[in-house]
Structures are given as structure tokens and as C-alpha cells.
Homo-oligomer: A and B are copies of this chain.
Amino acid sequence: MPIYNAPTKDMQFILHDMLNVAASDIPGYADLDRDFTGAILDEAGKIAGQVLAPLNPVGDSQGCVLENGVVRTPDGFKAAFDEVREGGWTGLDMPEEFGGQNMPYIMGITITEMFSAANMAFAMYQGLTHGAASAILVHGSDQQKATYLPKMVSCEWTGTMNLTEPHCGTDLGLMRTRAEPQDDGSFRISGQKIFISAGEHDMADNIVHLVLAKIPGGPEGIKGVSLFIVPKFIVNEDGSLGARNGVSCGKIEEKMGIHGNSTCVMNYDGATGWLLGEEHKGMRAMFTMMNEARIGVGVQGLAQADAAYQNAVAYAHDRLQGRDVTGDKNPDGPADPLIVHPDIRRSLMDQKSFIEGARAFTLWGAQLIDRAHRGKDDEADNMISLLTPVLKGFQTDLGFQMTIQAQQVYGGHGYIEETGMSQFARDARIAMIYEGANGVQALDLVGRKLGLNGGKTVMAFFNLVKDFIKQNEANEALKKGYLDPLKAASKDLQAAGMYFMAEAMKNPNNALAGSNDFMHLFGHVCLGLMWAEMAKASYSALDAGTSDTEFYQSKLATGRYYMARHLPATAMHLARIRSGAEPVMALEAARF
């Protein structure tokens, strides 16, 4: 059975040593002292490790079963969901008025990481509910909020997002689902939605579907899309559940992974729905929560990588195979443990340095969201808009790669389902696809976010890196091991940006053909910046005479690895970008 130990110590390091959250002026952050966050992380970690992780292989092997319109979730899921609900974990960062605990988003995201790492398919039921509740919170009428939010914050009712149709995913303007206005102000929703995670299941009394549909006579394409609330059971005025609505699960998809989550084909047959937000402004309502949803997916990449990594480490300590060429490490045993071998070490360091860097990036991103929303800070809002496609795309691409590397440490045993290593990879794979496939993230980054605010936001990012380097380069150790490589990587990123500006004028494809490389280049610079900041924090702790020197020295070593072994990718991405559209587009479509 795979293990999972919540990385509470590392999270505490990022929250306090690096981000110094308790000293922040963001509303709500003053409460986040080390003891407080530590207590929350410890408790959440217990649920993750003891309740959710043991159910992860169960969910994978049993999957969800549709019988007579009812979806049965895997054994133990319902009881675990009750435990999560009862612990108050579902409304951590939701407003108190609806039963939440009103903590900052940064605390919510730490829990998301733990729960996703322990059991991604399970955590999605809660995650989608959170997303749907956020949409109602921002765009709903007072009555809608009162009707749905208390039950959704507690996860007595769960939520879904209905965007995709069989013929349209990214290009939602092609949507066919219709919403016919009724005399009572409601709408009759008809159409088919696919890939609806948690679309139907047996763990909640009601399911609140948020459905994108077109009101006849509205604008063509994406501008004519509206968002509707379509509950599985109509909610009576007194809050009790009324009639079954005209929505049903037609099929559960057979997927590569996340078997414990029911991915449904949902049929809307004249179902009753209510407009959420304004007519034809459905995409805007969706986009409001897009940054959060995408960061949530970026976290899944990191989370699966960490779960897989922890098991790879355990196996590398345990499995005896071959000898250390520099001298036996286990002379009394028949062989040395795998971890003595440099190539195993290389793989584990790849994983560790990515995971810890990505965790810091994620929490910094979450802090920007808190600053934007709680602190009403537009610059922070722009910055997180810029970084969101990087967080989502880069972290899920690398996260998946790291699950593959972790699986590889097991040799043949990694290919056998019994060890659980295959599941981490298969589950992590979806994060590269949903919530906007990573190619779309790259397009968003290059096509929209680079030009955000007239390019001022990306300039602000460059300045942030530059200023950090300038302010800290008096520290010789920091400069040589961390700041110099970061400076070189950042130069590559700026050069790529310059290339796009100059060459996209001639042909927009010169930028688009490099979008994927740019997203990865950007991701490495972000993680390089995180490692520089973490190194600074580690030196500070060591200088201050911390008793836990091992922890901080490990941080420094891990960061040095990132700089030496991950960051050289930036020059490669730049070279690819600079080759432009010609090699990419030279072959006619018919010649593939």
C-alpha cells in the first residue's frame, strides 16, 4: 500500500520562513501565526494520510458504477466524505455567513494539496463543489446564495461545472445546449454535456450543476453563452428538497485514471434552471473563478508528484540492488540500497527540487490571490492572472513527468498496479488536460497574458526578479549558487519575450509556435525565483542560529540542484522559441 505523509514542515517553512504570512498586511493574514497554521496543517495531514490515502487504491480498482441511473462510489468514499465534512474541511476559506471559516485562500490551497496527494479522485468531489460555490458567491443573487451556499459550503450538496459538449471543448462558442426562458423566470435546459466530474454520485443529498447554455436569439458564438444553476433536486422555498429535475447521468466514462471520480455524460432533458449572473455573460462568470480553479489543478500536478516521490524514496531505501561504486554502504547485506546509485539520486533530486519549488510557487500564487481579493490589490490580481497559466501548465506537465520518474525508480515493480505507482502517473495525467489543456494555457500566456495591462504586468514580474537579485547579491553564497543562475534564466525569458514582440508583428505564428516552450521557460524562472527566496530564508535561519540546521541545509542543497540541473532548460527553450514558426509550419497539413 502506498504511503503519504503530509508535507506540513515544508509548508510551514514556506508560509513563515519564506512568505512570512503573519506579518503580511493582507486582511486575515495576521491570524496565521506558526502555531495556528501548524495545528491546521497537522490535523489536515492526519485526514489525508490516515483516511484518504488508504482509499486511493480502492477508488482506482473499484471505480464508480452506474446502475439504474444511480452512481455508486467506491467502498469507503462516503464515510470518508462524512469525516471530511464533519471536520469542517470543506468550508475552510468560505465566508462565515454561509458556514465557512473565512480563512485565507492560502490555507485552503495547502489542504487542497494534501487531499489531492492522498486521493485525487476523492478530493475532486470537494474541489468542484468549492468552484461552483465560488461562482454562486460572486455572481448569485441573495436568494441563490441563501438557497445553495450553506449546503455547498458544508458539502451536504456537491457541485459540478458543465462546459464541454461532445463536439466542443476549448471552443465553447460551438456549444449547442439551449436554455428556453419560461414565464416564471426559470429556463428549460436541453442538451448533452460530457466529461462532467462528480456529475452523479451517492455521497450528497443534492447536486448543484452549473451549466453553460445558449438562450435562443442571443448573440452568436461565445458571446451568447449564459450560466445556469440546475440542481438535481429542485429546492423548495423552505429549503427542503422537491421534485427530481430533468437531468440524468447517461454514462460513466472509462478513463486512464481518477477512477474514483465519476466522470459523467449528463443529459439535460428540459431541466429547470435558473440564470446565474447576467444573460450572455456566462463566460465572464466562469472566468471569475478560473484562476482559482486552474491553480487548484496546478496543485494536483505537484501533489501527485509528491505522493509518488515519497513512495519512490521509501523504495529506494528499502530495495537492495547493486553496490555503490565508491564503496559498499551496506556491507553486511547482499547489496546496497538503490538510493546509493547516482542515477537514482539524480531522479529523486529532480523530483524533490521540483516539488518543493512548485509548492512555494503555488503558495506565493495563493498569497497573490488573497492580496487581490482580500486586499483589493489590482496589481496582485494582474500578477496572478499572468502566472496562472504557468502554474497550471508547467506544474502539471512537470508533475506528471515526475510521477513517471518516481515510477521508474521501482523498475518492473512500478509497472504492476499493486505498488500504486502506476496510479499516481495515470491520475496525474488528467491535470495536463482538464481546466484548459496545457496547450491552451500556453496560448493564454503568450496570446493574452503577456500583453496584459499593456505589458506592464510582465515587466513587473521581470522587475521583481531583478530587484530580488539586486537586493541580495551582497550575500556571496546566495549570489553564486542561486542568484547568478536565476539571472541567466531570467535573461533567457526576457529574450524570449523580446523575440515574440519583434517577430509576432511579422507573423503571429512566430509567437504561437513557441508558446509551449515559453510557458516552460517561464515556469523554470518562477521556480528559480522561489528557490532563490527559499535559499535566502534558509541562510537567514542558519545565521540566526536555528537548531534545525539539517532542514535548512537540505533546503540549500535541494535548491542548488534545481539551479544546476533544472534551470539549464531555459536556454534550450529559448533556442527553440527563436527558431520561430518556419520549422513548425513548413510542412503542409496534408503531408503529416
Contact residues of A with B, CB < 8 Å? 164, 167-171, 174, 194-195, 253-257, 313, 316-317, 320-322, 325-326, 334-335, 337, 339-349, 352, 400, 404, 407-408, 411-412, 414-418, 422, 425-426, 429-430, 432-434, 437-439, 442-443, 507-509, 512-513, 515-516, 550, 554, 557-558, 560-561, 563-565, 568-569, 571-572, 575-576, 579, 581, 583-587, 589, 591-592
4 smallest beta-carbon distances between A and B, as pairs? A568-B575, A564-B579, A256-B422, A342-B512
Contact between chains at A342 and B513 (CB < 8 Å)? yes
Chain B residues in 8 Å Cβ range of A171: 320-322, 335
Specify the chain B residue showing the minimal Cβ separation from A313.
Answer: B592
Most buried by B among A343, A425, A432, A564: A343
Chain B residues in 8 Å Cβ range of A169: 321, 411-412
Contact between chains at B352 and A592 (CB < 8 Å)? yes
CA distance A211 to B185 in the complex (A): 76
Contact between chains at B170 and A592 (CB < 8 Å)? no
CA distance A124 to B426 in the complex (A): 23
Chain B residues in 8 Å Cβ range of A583: 349, 557, 560-561, 563-565
CA distance A349 to B337 in the complex (A): 41
Most buried by B among A253, A317, A433, A583: A583
Contact between chains at A515 and B584 (CB < 8 Å)? no
Contact between chains at A345 and B550 (CB < 8 Å)? no
CB pairs A–B below 8 angstroms (22 shown)? A167-B320, A168-B321, A170-B411, A174-B335, A253-B416, A254-B417, A255-B422, A256-B415, A313-B592, A325-B509, A339-B592, A340-B589, A342-B515, A342-B581, A343-B439, A347-B516, A412-B437, A414-B433, A557-B583, A561-B584, A561-B586, A565-B576
Contact between chains at A564 and B581 (CB < 8 Å)? no
Specify the chain B residue showing the minimal Cβ separation from A504.
Answer: B325
CA distance A168 to B319 in the complex (A): 9
Specify the chain B residue showing the minimal Cβ separation from A421.
Answer: B256
Specify the chain B residue showing the minimal Cβ separation from A309.
Answer: B592
CA distance A36 to B589 in the complex (A): 32
Please give the distance in Å from A262's CB to the nearest CB on chain B: 14
A408-B439, A563-B583 given; name 19 further pairs at CB < 8 Å.
A169-B411, A174-B335, A253-B418, A254-B418, A325-B512, A342-B513, A342-B584, A343-B443, A343-B515, A345-B513, A347-B516, A408-B433, A408-B437, A426-B426, A557-B583, A561-B583, A561-B587, A564-B583, A565-B584
Please give the distance in Å from A426's CB to the nearest CB on chain B: 7
Please give the distance in Å from A503's CB to the nearest CB on chain B: 13
Contact between chains at B342 and A412 (CB < 8 Å)? no
Question: Contact partner of A255 among B417, B429, B433, CB < 8 A?
Answer: B417
CA distance A586 to B481 in the complex (A): 13
Chain B residues in 8 Å Cβ range of A412: 164, 169, 194-195, 433-434, 437
Chain B residues in 8 Å Cβ range of A349: 583-584, 587
Please give the distance in Å from A280's CB to the nearest CB on chain B: 19
Contact between chains at A437 and B416 (CB < 8 Å)? no
Question: Contact partner of A576 among B411, B415, B568, CB < 8 A?
Answer: B568
CA distance A576 to B425 in the complex (A): 25
Most buried by B among A346, A426, A585: A346
Contact between chains at A557 and B586 (CB < 8 Å)? yes
Specify the chain B residue showing the minimal Cβ separation from A253.
Answer: B416
Please give the distance in Å from A191's CB to the nearest CB on chain B: 16
Specify the chain B residue showing the minimal Cβ separation from A324.
Answer: B509
Please give the distance in Å from A9's CB to the nearest CB on chain B: 12
Contact between chains at A254 and B554 (CB < 8 Å)? no
Question: Contact partner of A507 among B320, B326, B335, B550, CB < 8 A?
Answer: B326
Chain B residues in 8 Å Cβ range of A568: 571-572, 575-576
Specify the chain B residue showing the minimal Cβ separation from A164.
Answer: B412
Please give the distance in Å from A257's CB to the nearest CB on chain B: 8
Please give the distance in Å from A478's CB to the nearest CB on chain B: 16
Chain B residues in 8 Å Cβ range of A335: 171, 174
Please give the distance in Å from A484's CB to the nearest CB on chain B: 13
Chain B residues in 8 Å Cβ range of A348: 592
Contact between chains at A342 and B592 (CB < 8 Å)? no
Please give the distance in Å from A67's CB to the nearest CB on chain B: 20
CA distance A404 to B438 in the complex (A): 12
Known: A326-B508, A564-B576. A170 touches B321 (CB 8 A): yes
Contact between chains at A426 and B565 (CB < 8 Å)? no
Please give the distance in Å from A396's CB to the nearest CB on chain B: 11
Specify the chain B residue showing the minimal Cβ separation from A575.
Answer: B568
Please give the distance in Å from A366's CB to the nearest CB on chain B: 26
Contact between chains at A585 and B342 (CB < 8 Å)? yes
Specify the chain B residue showing the minimal Cβ separation from A576.
Answer: B565
Chain B residues in 8 Å Cβ range of A564: 576, 579, 583
Chain B residues in 8 Å Cβ range of A575: 568, 571
